[in-house]
Amino acid sequence: MTIIKTGSARTDTGGVGDTLGTFQTELISDNDSLTQFAAFIETLSPGSS
Q: Give 4-43 pLDDT, tens digit per residue.
A: 777 788 888 888 887 788 888 888 776 566 667 778 888 8
pTM: 0.62
Please report whether residue 33 resides in a domain: yes
How are strands ordered across the β-sheet holding 40-44? Answer: 10-14, 23-27, 40-44
* 25 DSSP β-pair partners: 12, 42
Higher pLDDT pick, 14 / 49: 14
Domains in the chain: how many in total? 1
pLDDT at position 30, please? Answer: 64
Separation CA 25–CA 16 (nearest Å): 14
Q: Is residue 16 part of a domain?
A: yes
Query: Which residue segment(s) compose the domain that 39 sits in?
Result: 10-44
| pLDDT given for residue 34 in this prediction | 63
Does residue 37 belong to any structural domain of this protein? yes
Domain assignment present for residue 3? The answer is: no
> Is 2 among the domain residues?
no
